[in-house]
Amino acid sequence: MELKLSRAKVSEAEVIFTLQHEAFLPLLEKYKDYDTNPANESIEKVVARIMNPRRAYYMIRYKEVPVGAIGVRWDETESHYWISPMFVISAYQGLGIAQQAINAVESMYPMAETWELATILEETRNCYLYEKMGYRTTGATKRLNEFATLVFYYKKMQPSKAASC
């Protein structure tokens, strides 16, 4: 498989920070969401994500090249999971990497009953991707500013056959 997820280490925070900035800067410039856009975050926030005990942060590598990251966090019951952030730098977009990364993290957490995520409503390619992967809108939105609105998605997982025996 050309895609590999590996649990991020604090020593990789600077690489992730650089990739995150590169991936999200065009959206920051387009939507001017200075309070929420990951391109505007500090490296300390990346380190905090990596070190959080109720979160897993994975470096996405394609053909051994770091191309993005995907974060997963869960509630205290470990049945409800949230993907945030997830990004792939522009040079590697359109290759199915994001879809493979989501499939990979979903398979890593078979106990998950639901997955949730949010994206910018105006980014129709993102919305299409999540809907294609079985995510549905919750109906909730959050206006970030006059340029951008967050839309929230969820996916209810099928109970595993082992659990129903």
Q: What is the pLDDT of residues 77-93, one digit of tens each?
A: 989 999 999 999 999 99
Q: CA quadruple 93, 5, 162, 156: dihedral positive or negative?
A: negative
Mean pLDDT of 51-76: 96
Q: 159: pLDDT confidence band, cut at 50, 70 and 90?
A: confident
* 60 within 8 A of 67, measured Cβ to Cβ: yes
90: left (phi over 0), alpha (psi -120 to 50) or beta: alpha
At what angle are helices 124-132 and 97-108 packed, to 10 degrees?
Answer: 40
Residue 135 vs residues 25, 116, 132: alpha-carbon distances, Å: 26, 8, 7
Local confidence band at 1 (pLDDT 50, 70, 90 cut-offs)? low
Q: Which of 13, 131, 5, 22 is nearest to 87 (CA)?
A: 22
Per residue in 17-63, pLDDT tens?
Answer: 999 999 999 999 999 999 999 999 999 999 999 999 999 999 999 99
Single-letter amino acid code for the residue at 91: A
Q: Bigger pLDDT: 143 or 162?
A: 143
Q: What is the DSSP letter of 90?
A: G
pLDDT over 70 (residue 163) = no
Residue 78's region, left for phi above 0, alpha for psi from -120 to 50, else beta, is left
Contact indicator for 83, 115 with CB cutoff of 8 Å: yes
Beta-carbon contacts of 2 under 8 Å, excluding residues fewer than 6 positions away, are: 62, 63
Pick the CATH number of 3-164 from 1.20.210.10, 3.40.605.10, 3.40.630.30, 3.30.70.100: 3.40.630.30
Per-domain residue ranges of the chain? 3-164
pLDDT of residue 162: 41
Residue 148: count other Cβ atoms within 10 Å of its Cβ.
Answer: 19
User: Strand pairing of 114-120 and 80-88?
Assistant: parallel
